[in-house]
């Protein structure tokens, strides 16, 4: 019995398509890039590294990031308090029905 949701004709080349495939294909055409070089992965690493370096060296970016984290924490804390309040309301309602 076969699973109708799994396409058995799917091959590895179709999985590596998209932007990654286009970047790797363009990089293979360059004369100084080795055949087994993953250009898409390298570019992702460069972008992530650049972002981390920017955050580590820019004080204003750090302040903005930390403010966003504090706001998200406060929002989460308010949500937890609201859930506690609803739980207590439900508990009081059940006790009132007894």
Report which of 63, 18, 23, 58 is spatially closest to residue 41, judged by C-alpha positions: 23
* Cα gap 1→45, rounded to integer Å: 42
Which tens digits make up the pLDDT trace of 40-79? 888 999 999 999 999 889 999 999 999 999 999 999 999 9
Who contacts 38 (Cβ-Cβ below 8 Å, separation ≥6)? 24
Using one digit for the tens of pLDDT, what is the confidence trace for 24-35? 888 888 888 787
Contact 67, 60 (CB under 8 A): no
Structure pTM? 0.50
Q: pLDDT by residue (tens digit) across 69-79?
A: 999 999 999 99
Q: In 10 A of CB 76, how many CB atoms?
A: 10
């Amino acid at each position: 019995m076969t699973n109708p949701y799994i396409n058995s004709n799917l091959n590895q080349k179709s999985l590596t398509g998209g932007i990654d495939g286009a970047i790797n294909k363009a990089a293979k055409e360059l004369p100084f890039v080795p055949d087994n070089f993953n250009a898409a992965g390298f570019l992702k690493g460069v972008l992530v590294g650049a972002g981390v370096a920017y955050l580590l060296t820019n004080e204003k970016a750090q302040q903005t990031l930390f403010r966003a984290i504090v706001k998200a924490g406060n929002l989460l804390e308010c949500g937890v308090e609201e859930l506690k309040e609803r739980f207590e309301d439900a508990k009081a309602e059940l006790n009132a029905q007894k």
